[in-house]
Amino acid sequence: MVSVVNEHWRDEKINGIVYDMSPAPGYRHGIIDSNIHTIIKQGLRDSLCLVFMENLDFKYHPEENDDYVCPDIMVVCDRTKLKGGAYSGTPKFIAETLSPSTAKRDKTEKKEIYEKAGVEEYWIVSPQGSVEIYYLENDKYVMKHNYMLEDDPEDEHYNAETVIRLRAFPHITMELRDIFEKVD
């Protein structure tokens, strides 16, 4: 007899409420996450910091409860805060790629969680070609950059070659088009 286990891709627990994150988001979401992850991983090659993609829970206030979120991309530098499948320190960078089932939470609850946790830089990426970049200033997020990809060189608003760099790691750069490479 084969037993069937009800497995799901991942979940998150925010304010004591568990959110099932399945089914998996669309393939464009995965391509974008992979593009960002690959660029950051290359840039961190000689660093003690690590980049994770969709596979490490962030326990954002472990001293209070067992709530956690699972960011799409997360850079961590304090390896002493890694335990099992979770990180309980303060990430240097987090990116969330929007999907229909999580977009509202990524732009509201999770943005607030990351802000309160002290995450220095937060990106909200849309598979439709936009990137919002927030920096933590005086304990509040301030949107410093907002891009909408225009990759037609004939268009007056062409910006595919715009260089974006991570605030905490200025040597890590990518062009706007790199984020959305092979999405279509």
The CATH number of whichever domain residue 126 belongs to comes to 3.90.1570.10
Task: Give pLDDT tens digits for 138-179.
Answer: 999 999 999 999 999 999 999 999 999 999 999 999 999 999
Tally the residues of the chain.
Answer: 184
Q: Is residue 111 part of a domain?
A: yes
Give me the chain's average pLDDT, please. Answer: 92
User: Helix/strand/coil (H, E, C) string of the chain?
Assistant: CCCCCCCCCCEEEECCEEEECCCCCCHHHHHHHHHHHHHHHHHCCCCCCEEEECCCEECCCCCCCCCEECCCEEEECCHHHEECCEECCCCCEEEEECCCCCHHHHHCHHHHHHHHHCCCEEEEEECCCEEEEEEEECCEEEEEEEEECCCCCCCCCCCCCCEEECCCCCCCEEEHHHHCCCCC
Q: Is residue 142 part of a domain?
A: yes
Q: Is residue 158 part of a domain?
A: yes
- Indicate the number of domains in the chain: 1
Alpha-carbon dihedral angle through residues 163, 155, 96, 116, given to the nearest 10 degrees: 70
Q: Is residue 27 part of a domain?
A: yes
Contact 164, 130 (CB under 8 A): no
Angle at 159 between CA 158 and CA 163, to 5 degrees: 160
Q: Is residue 128 part of a domain?
A: yes
| Owning domain of residue 56 | 11-179
pTM confidence score = 0.91
Task: Give pLDDT tens digits for 61-82.
Answer: 888 889 999 999 999 999 999 9
Q: Is residue 6 part of a domain?
A: no
Task: Give pLDDT tens digits for 1-16.
Answer: 544 444 445 788 988 8
- What integer pLDDT is reported at residue 101 of this predicted model? 84
Q: Is residue 4 part of a domain?
A: no
Q: Is residue 5 part of a domain?
A: no
